[in-house]
Structure 1
Amino acid sequence: MRTRYALILCSGLTALAAPVLAQANADADSMDIVVTAQKRAQSVQDIGISITAIGEDELRRSQATDIGTLANQISNVVATTSSNLPAFTVRGIGLNEFASNFDSPVAVHVDEVYKSKPYMATVPFYDIQRVEALKGPQGTLFGRNTTGGSVNYYTVEPQFDSSGGMNLSIDNHGRGRIDGFVNTMLGEQTAVRGSYFVSQGHGGPYRNLLTDSRWGSPNQLAGRLQVKWQGEGTTIRLMGYGFRDKSELAPYKSPGLFNPDGTLCPQVFTGEIRRRRDACLKFGPFVPGPSLLGLRESQSIRTFAADTPWKADNSAYGGYARVEQEAGPLTLTSITAFDYFKRDQVDDPDDTPYVTTNQNLYSRIRQFSQELRATGTFGRLNVLVGGFYEHDSIRDVASANVGENPLVGLPPFAPRLAAAFTQKVRSLAVFTNNELALTDTLSIVAGLRYTNDKTSLDASSYLGADDPTGPTHIVSPAIPVSDLVDSRTDGTTSFRLGLNWKASADQLFYASISRGFRSGGYSVPFGGVITSFDPEKLTAYEIGSKSRLAGRTLDLNLSAFFYDYKDLQTNVDDPLSPLVPITRNIGGSRTYGAEADLTWRPTPTTLLRVGGSYLDAKYRNTSAVITTYAGSIALDGKRPVNTPKWSAQGLLQQSVPVGPDLDLIGSTDFKYIGARFLESTGQIFDRAPAYWVQNARLALSSRTGGWEVALWGKNIFNKEYLTYINNVSFFRIEIYGEPVSYGLSASFKF
C-alpha cells in the first residue's frame, strides 16, 4: 500500500532535475544553493544539468559515509557492492563487474581528483562540505569514462578561525564510529585542518554457523591533513590522507542449484530460490565430507557457514596540491594528485565449510593525475579551457581454491584457478566548456573534450598449485590457460551542447545533447581466456525545467531524457570463460526516462522532499546469446541490469521548539526501487523483487548548532532486498542490503 501511494504521487510529477537538498550553502533569503558543476560557482537553479546537491548537515544526519547511504537520497541512483567494489548506477548506467581493473561509468571525484577504480571509494567519506551528483554524460569537464554521470565530493577546506567538532555513533550490532576535525590558523594567511575517522566493532549483524560467532564488525582508521595559504590573488591548498581497513565484510548468500541426483532443481527455473534459499543442494549427490553443514544454504540472510569468511586487509594513502592564481580576467587552476591503494581480501563465494571456491584477491594501484585549466568571464561569455593527464599502474593477483570441490569436471588436479596481470593506463585529454548569454534570458552552452587513452596489459590465466606466497599471494602455474601481452589506444571526442532559457528569476528551461565515452580494456578471468573489449559511447538527449513556486517555498525540478548506448560493455557468461563471467561488448541499448523532484518548505521548521523516476530500457541491435541455467538466451529486447521501471525516494522533517535554545527534530525518509534484473539475461532467476527501505530519526538539538543527540533506525521494517546477483556456472552469489539497525548518535562543535 505504501508503494502504491508513492507511485501515484511520483507519477503525478513526471520528470526530474535535482532535489535541492544542500542547506550548508543556501542563502537565508533566496535559498539558492551554490554548486561548482561547471567548475565555477553558480546557483543550482541556473544550470541546465540534472544535479542533486547534498550539504554537510544532511550528510552528517544521514551518516552518509559510504555510497549506499548516499544513493538512498538521490532519485534514479542505486549503489551496488560486489567483492567490496562499491559503484553507483545512475539512470541504469553502472558497473556490474567484480574485476579490479575497470573504471566505473559513473565517476567518483574527491575535491575534483578522479578516483579511477571502484575500490578506491571504500575510503570513508567524512568531514564533507557537500556532494554534487551529476546525471548523464559529463565527459567534457570531469575526469574520464563518465558515460553515466559523476558523483563529486568536496571536503571542508581549512577555515580562517579556530574550531573543532566531533560526531559519535553506536548501534545495536556492537558497531561504533567517531569522526571529527580540528581547525586552526597559523598566521593571517595560513589555515590548517585535521580530520579523522574511526570505525570499530565487536560482533556485527551476521552469524557464522560454522563457528557460532557474530560477524560484520568494522575496523577502519582514516585521517586527513589540509593546509591552505591565501595571498593576494593566489590560493594554495595541500592535502594528505591515509586509510587502513581490516573490517569483516558483509557475507554473500549462495543458494544451491542441484537435486539429489545432480540435475538442476526446479526452484532455480521458477525463481523460488530467492525466497527458499535452502531448497536446493549445493553439490547434488557429491558430498565433500561427513558433515552436512553447508550443503544447503541457510534461509536467513543474517547467517552463513563459510570456512573463509569475507575480510579485508586494505590500505591507502595519497594527497594533492591545488593552486589557484588570479591573472587579470582569468583564474588559473592546477591540481596535482597521487593515490596509492592496496586491496588484499579473502572471501568464500559459495558459502560452505569446504575449500571449494575460496578466493584471494590482491590488487595494488598507483595513480598520478594532473589537471590544468583557465576560467574567465568576458562580457556575456564564460570560458573554460584545460588539459588533463592521468596514469595508473595496477598489479593484480587473484585465485580461487577449488581443492575440495566434488563436482565432476572441476580440477582437483590443479586446485587453484588463478590469474596475474600488470595493467598500465595513460590518459591525455584537452577540454573546453563555454556559456554565451545570447540575451538576458537565453544562453547557449558548448563543451568539447578530446581523450586519448592507452592501456597496456601483461597477463596470465592458469590453473595452479595451492601455494599462494608472498604479499601478493602469487600462485605457481601448473596448466596454462591464456597469456596476453598487448596494448590498445582509444581516442574519441566527447561533447555537450545545451540551451538554457531563464524565463524568470524563478524559472529555468533547458535542453541538451551530450556524449560520453568509456575506453576499451581487457578482461582477465582466473581460469578463463583473456579478452579485449572496445570503447562504449553514450549519447544523451535531455529536456527539463527548474521552478521555484509558492512564494519560493516550493522547488519543482523536472526532466525527460533519451539515451542511445553503443558497444555496451557488460559482464556476462561466455564460452571463452565457462567458470567466471567476463566483460565484453554486447551491442547497444536505448533508454527513455523521466524524473521529478519536489522540495517544499512551507515553514522554517518543516521540510518535505519527494522524487520519482521512470525508466524504459532495452538492449537493442545485439546478436549476443548468453548461456544460462535455462539454456541459451538472446539479449536483444531484454532489460539491462539495474533498470527498475519505477523508483522513488522522499523525506519528511519537522522541528518543534521545546525550550529557549532547544529543538526536537523528527524525520523519516524512504527509498523505493522497483523490480529489476541483476543479470543481463533477464531470466526469472535474474530478477530482484521491488523493495521499500525506511529510516527514522529523532534528535534533540541546540538551536545554535553547538550540539545534537539523536536516536535513529535504519531499515526500520527489516526488509530483505537484493542488491547483487551473479549466476556462476556451478553456484549462485546473492548480496543483500543490511538488516534493521538502530542506535544513538551525538554531535558537538566548539
Structure 2
Amino acid sequence: MKKLHMAILCAGAASWASIAAAQGVPAQAAAVDDGGEIVVTAQKRAQSVQDVGISLTAIGADELRRNQMTDVNQLANQISNVVATTSSNLPAFTVRGIGLNEFASNFDSPVAVHIDEVYKSKPYMLSMPFYDIQRVEALKGPQGTLFGRNTTGGSVNYYTQEPQFTPSGGFNASIDNYGRVRGDGFLNQPLSDTVAARASYYVAQGWGGPYRNLLTGKDFGKPNQLAGRLQLKWAGEGTTARLMVYGFKDKSQLTPYKSPGLFNPDGSYCAAVFTGAIQKDRDACLKFGPFVPGADPRGLRETQSIRNMNADAPWKADNSAFGGYLRLEQEAGAFQLTSITAYDQFVRDQVDDGDNTPYIAVNQLLYSRIKQFSQELRATAKFDRLNVLIGGFFEHDSIDEANSANTIENPLPGLPPFAPRLAADFKQKVRSLAIFTNNEYALTDQLSLIVGLRYTNDRTKIDGAAYLGADDPSGRRHLVTPVIPVDALVAHRTDGTTSFRGGINWKASRDQLFYASISRGFRSGGYSVPFGGVITTFDPERLTAYEIGSKSRLLGRTLDLNLAAFFYDYKDIQTNVDDPLSPLVPITRNIGGSRTYGAEAELTWRPDPSWTVRLGGSYLDAKFRNTTAVITTYAGPVPLDGKRPVNTPKWTAQGMIQKSVPLNDDLDLIGSTDFKYTAKRYLEATNQLFDRAPAYWVQNARLAVASKSGGWEIAAWGKNIFNKDYLTYINNISFFRIEIYGEPVSYGLSASIKF
C-alpha cells in the first residue's frame, strides 16, 4: 500500500510538472466583496452565492469570529435545517435529517466535511477547533460529483485563511465566567515577491468549568487544547503551490453525560421511563434497583441539575493529531490543473463514565488511531458556454481501535466477576477510488444545464474480535485480556456505484435565479463492532434527492431571499439501533427506507451598512417507509415503519440581528443577537416517549466597541442567555441510559486586534 501511495503521489506531481511552463494566474480563494456579498467555490469556481443553483449557506470570517464558531455546534445554530450532535466527543452534522447518530468511531458520516478541500473521513477528526477560517460553505443534498466521499446528506466545507503578500497579524482572546480562556492568532509575512508564510495558533485553557462533580467537590469542564498551523505559498508564473502542516493536542475535560435511572426497587422498569418523565424528574428512578446493597445514595439516583455529576471516571481526552497537505495549481491554456495531496493522523484516547455514578458500572476506555492519505487530481476549463470539471480521487485510511467498558460493580448484565469488561479490538482499512465530472452548459444567456457523474469503488477490510475481558487494561491502547470470546471476524467487502447530478438553472434576471435538480448520493457499507457483541456487516445506503428553488435580490439589492423545496427517497438506511443480535450495546444496520418532504427559506436584509438581519426557517416531514425492521426497547419490540428518523424536527428556525451605531469619528458600538429554535424530535429511531427531545430555543447576545478601521474590538457576550436545558443526544441501552445536553448559560469578555 505504501508503494501505491507513492505511485499516486508521483503521478500527481508529474501531471503538474509536465505543464509547468504554461502561463496564467491561478484561481484564488473566494472572499467577501465590498458589498458584503459572499463569493463561494461550491462548484470549484468563484461565483456569487446568489448565482449557484445549490441550496447552501455561506458564513464569512467576521461572523465566525464574532460568534466564536470554533466547533460544529455553534456553526449549526446559524444554518437552516442543520443540527449538530456530539457523542463521546464525536462531532457530526445532520442536514435535512441525514446524519450520524453514533458513538462508534469507525464510520464515515453521510455529511462530509472538508478543510481546504481535504476530506476528513472520521467524525472525531472534527473535535479539533476551527480557527483562522476565511469562510464556511454548507451545501445541502448529495454533492458527490464535486466533493469527496459519502456526501449523501451534504458537505460542510471549511476554508482557512491562506498566506498573503502583505504583512499582517492579529489575535483574538476571550474569558468566560467559568474561568475558561481561549485565544487564537496569526502572523502573515511575505518572504519574497513570490513566497509568503502564515502561522496560526489556537490555545484553550481554564481553571474551572460549567459542571460540578459532587463526588470530588470540584468544578469540571476545563479545556486544555493547543493547535498550530504553518503555511507556505509560492506564486510563480502561472503556478501556485501551497504547503500546510498542522499539529493538535487535547487534554480537555469533556461534556459529561446524564444517566437517569431506569428501575424500581424490585428491579423492574420504572414507570417514569415509559412516560418520558425522567427527562424532567431525573431522580425518579433507581440506577441499579436492588442490586447494590449498602450503596452510596449519591450513585443510586441521577442528580436533577444538568450541571451536576457523580462520576468516578470523569470524561477526559488525551488526543493528538498532525498532518498537512500540498496543493499545486497550474494554468495550462484553457485548463487549470489542481493536485491536492494530504496526510492526516489522529489518536483518540478517552475515558468516560457512561452511567455517571461513583461505581465502576459502565466505565469506558476508548482508543482509536487513524492514518489517512488522500490524493485528488482535477482539471477545470471554460470553453465559451461550457464549464468543465473532470477529476480523480484516492483515499486510504487505516484504523487501529480498542474499546472496553468495565462493569465490575454493575451486576445487571449478569457478567462473571472474572470477565467484567465488554471489549472490542479491531483493525479496519478502507481504500476508496473515484472518478468524477461536473459540467455546466449555457443554452442561452439565461438558461443552463448541469450534468455530473461520479463512480466510486470502496473496499473495506476488517480484522477484529468482540469478547468479555479481564480488568487488566495495559499499554496506550488499554488492551484487555480476552476471557470469553463472543465473536471474531476477518473479512472484506467492496462497494461500487455511480452517483449523479442533473440540474437546470434559469437566470430570469440579474437578481433572480430559479433552479431544479435531481441528484443521487452513496455511502458505502461497512462493519459494526460492538463491545462484547456480535460483529455485523451492513450494505451501502443510497439517497435520491429532488429539489427546486429560487434565489432573489430585492428592494434595491438590499434583501436576499432564498427558497427551496425538496423530496428525498432514501434506501437501505444505516442506523444505530438496539438489536437482538447485540442485546447489550447498539449496532449499526440497514433498516429499510425513508421518504422526506421539506422546505426552507432564508432571508438576509442589509438596508444600510449599519444593519444586518438574517432569518431562516425550515419544515421537514420524514418517515421510515417499506421497512420490516422491529427494534427492541424498554417497552418491548417496536416496528419502525411510519416512525420519524433520528434528528428530524418538523420545524426549525434561526436568525441573527446586528446593528452598529457610531460613537464618534473613530468608534462604533455594535450590538447583535442570534437564536436557534428546534421543534421536538426523536433521538432514537423507535420514537417512544423516552426517545423524544423537547423543543428548545437558544439565544446568544453580544455588545462590542470597535474601531471603524477594523483594527480592534472589545466585546461582552452571553451564550444561551436564558439558560435553557436542551437535549442533543440520547442512547437508550438495555441496562442504562445516556443523555447529553447543550451547555448552560455562559458569559464573558473578548478582544480582537489586527495589525
TM range (shorter): over 0.9
**Cα offsets for 1:119-173 (capped at 9, x unmatched):** 0001110000000000000111111011000000000000001110000000001
Which aligned pairs between 1:359-438 and structure 2 lie closer than 5 A?
359-407=364-412, 409-438=414-443
Could you say which residue in structure 1 is the equivalent of 2:680? 675
Q: 1:211 corresponds to which letter in structure 2?
A: T
Q: SS of the residue aligned with 2:75?
A: helix
Q: 2:697 corresponds to which letter in structure 1?
A: W
* Match among 526, 529, 535 for residue 531 of structure 2: 526
Contact 2:319–2:350, Cα closer than 8 Å, also in 1: yes
Could you say which residue in structure 2 is the equivalent of 1:285? 290
Q: 2:546 corresponds to which letter in structure 1?
A: Y
1:486 positional shift: 0.1
Q: 1:639 corresponds to which letter in structure 2?
A: R
Could you say which residue in structure 1 is the equivalent of 2:50? 45
* Match among 33, 36, 61 for residue 27 of structure 1: 33
Q: Which moved more, 1:79-88 or 1:287-296?
A: 287-296
Could you say which residue in structure 1 is the equivalent of 2:9? none
Q: Distance in 1 between matches of 2:75 and 2:415?
A: 41
Which aligned pairs between 1:194-343 and structure 2 lie closer than 5 A?
194-287=199-292, 289-343=294-348
* Match among 493, 497, 506 for residue 501 of structure 1: 506
Q: Distance in 2 between matches of 1:505 and 1:603?
A: 21
Q: Distance in 1 between matches of 2:471 and 2:41?
A: 52
Could you say which residue in structure 1 is the equivalent of 2:123? 118
Q: SS of the residue aligned with 1:63?
A: coil
Q: 1:59 corresponds to which letter in structure 2?
A: L
Identity %: 78
1:24 positional shift: 8.9
**Cα offsets for 1:56-107 (capped at 9, x unmatched):** 0000000000000000010110000000000000000000011010000001
Could you say which residue in structure 2 is the equivalent of 1:6? none
Q: SS of the residue aligned with 2:670?
A: strand
Q: SS of the residue aligned with 1:659?
A: coil
Contact 1:160–1:191, Cα closer than 8 Å, also in 2: yes
Contact 1:523–1:583, Cα closer than 8 Å, also in 2: yes
* Match among 183, 187, 208 for residue 182 of structure 1: 187
Q: 2:185 corresponds to which letter in structure 1?
A: G
1:32 positional shift: 3.6
Count of residues in Structure 1 that have an aligned counterpart in Structure 2: 727
Whether 1:722 aligns to 2:731 is no
Root-mean-square deviation (CA), in Å?
Answer: 1.0
Could you say which residue in structure 2 is the equivalent of 1:16? none
CA shift in 2, pair 1:700/1:335, >3 Å: same
Contact 2:658–2:670, Cα closer than 8 Å, also in 1: yes
1:602 positional shift: 1.2
Q: Distance in 1 between matches of 2:297 and 2:619?
A: 46
Contact 1:128–1:153, Cα closer than 8 Å, also in 2: yes
Q: Distance in 2 between matches of 1:602 and 1:82?
A: 41
Which aligned pairs between 1:72-221 and structure 2 lie closer than 5 A?
72-221=77-226
Could you say which residue in structure 2 is the equivalent of 1:686? 691
**Cα offsets for 1:347-392 (capped at 9, x unmatched):** 0000010001100000000000000000000000000000000000
Which aligned pairs between 1:475-494 and structure 2 lie closer than 5 A?
475-494=480-499
Could you say which residue in structure 2 is the equivalent of 1:511? 516
Bigger relative contact order, structure 1 or 2 (CA pairs below 8 A, ≥6 apart): 1
Which aligned pairs between 1:598-613 and structure 2 lie closer than 5 A?
598-613=603-618
Q: 2:427 corresponds to which letter in structure 1?
A: T
* Match among 605, 623, 626 for residue 628 of structure 2: 623
**Cα offsets for 1:173-199 (capped at 9, x unmatched):** 110001000000111000000000000
Could you say which residue in structure 2 is the equivalent of 1:7? none
Contact 1:613–1:647, Cα closer than 8 Å, also in 2: yes
Contact 1:588–1:621, Cα closer than 8 Å, also in 2: yes
Could you say which residue in structure 1 is the equivalent of 2:66? 61
Q: 1:586 corresponds to which letter in structure 2?
A: I
**Cα offsets for 1:273-293 (capped at 9, x unmatched):** 110000000000111654222
Contact 2:368–2:399, Cα closer than 8 Å, also in 1: yes
Contact 2:38–2:60, Cα closer than 8 Å, also in 1: no
Which aligned pairs between 1:637-648 and structure 2 lie closer than 5 A?
637-648=642-653
Q: Distance in 1 between matches of 2:577 and 2:48?
A: 42
Whether 1:348 aligns to 2:361 is no
Q: Distance in 2 between matches of 1:292 and 1:647?
A: 40
**Cα offsets for 1:386-421 (capped at 9, x unmatched):** 000000000000000011113262333311110000
Q: SS of the residue aligned with 1:360?
A: strand
Q: Distance in 2 between matches of 1:380 and 1:289?
A: 80
Q: 1:310 corresponds to which letter in structure 2?
A: W
Q: SS of the residue aligned with 1:119?
A: helix
Q: SS of the residue aligned with 2:78?
A: coil
Q: Distance in 2 between matches of 1:230 and 1:407?
A: 65
Q: Distance in 2 between matches of 1:191 and 1:362?
A: 38
Q: Distance in 1 between matches of 2:86 and 2:701?
A: 24
Q: Distance in 2 between matches of 1:24 and 1:49?
A: 17
CA shift in 2, pair 1:34/1:24, >3 Å: closer
1:44 positional shift: 1.0
Q: SS of the residue aligned with 1:218?
A: coil
Q: 2:117 corresponds to which letter in structure 1?
A: E
Q: Distance in 1 between matches of 2:345 and 2:560?
A: 42
1:217 positional shift: 0.1
Could you say which residue in structure 2 is the equivalent of 1:449? 454
Q: Distance in 1 between matches of 2:415 and 2:624?
A: 33
Could you say which residue in structure 1 is the equivalent of 2:713? 708
1:607 positional shift: 1.1
Return 5+ residue gaps in structure 1 as ranges: 1-22
Could you say which residue in structure 2 is the equivalent of 1:553? 558
**Cα offsets for 1:310-369 (capped at 9, x unmatched):** 000000000000000000000000000000000000000000100011000000000000
Give the TM-score of the pair, scaled to structure 1: 0.96
Q: 1:703 corresponds to which letter in structure 2?
A: K
CA shift in 2, pair 1:534/1:290, >3 Å: closer
Q: Distance in 2 between matches of 1:408 and 1:44?
A: 54
Q: Distance in 1 between matches of 2:413 and 2:75?
A: 44
Return 5+ residue gaps in structure 2 as ranges: 1-28
Runs of 4+ in 1 over 4 A off after TM superposition: none
Contact 2:30–2:41, Cα closer than 8 Å, also in 1: no
* Match among 586, 590, 593 for residue 591 of structure 2: 586
Q: 2:380 corresponds to which letter in structure 1?
A: T
Contact 1:173–1:203, Cα closer than 8 Å, also in 2: yes
Q: 2:32 corresponds to which letter in structure 1?
A: A
Contact 1:430–1:449, Cα closer than 8 Å, also in 2: yes
Contact 1:288–1:406, Cα closer than 8 Å, also in 2: no
Could you say which residue in structure 2 is the equivalent of 1:735? 740
Q: Distance in 2 between matches of 1:150 and 1:362?
A: 27
Could you say which residue in structure 2 is the equivalent of 1:18? none
Could you say which residue in structure 1 is the equivalent of 2:754? 749
Could you say which residue in structure 1 is the equivalent of 2:20? none
Q: SS of the residue aligned with 2:663?
A: strand
Q: SS of the residue aligned with 2:337?
A: strand
Contact 1:347–1:358, Cα closer than 8 Å, also in 2: yes
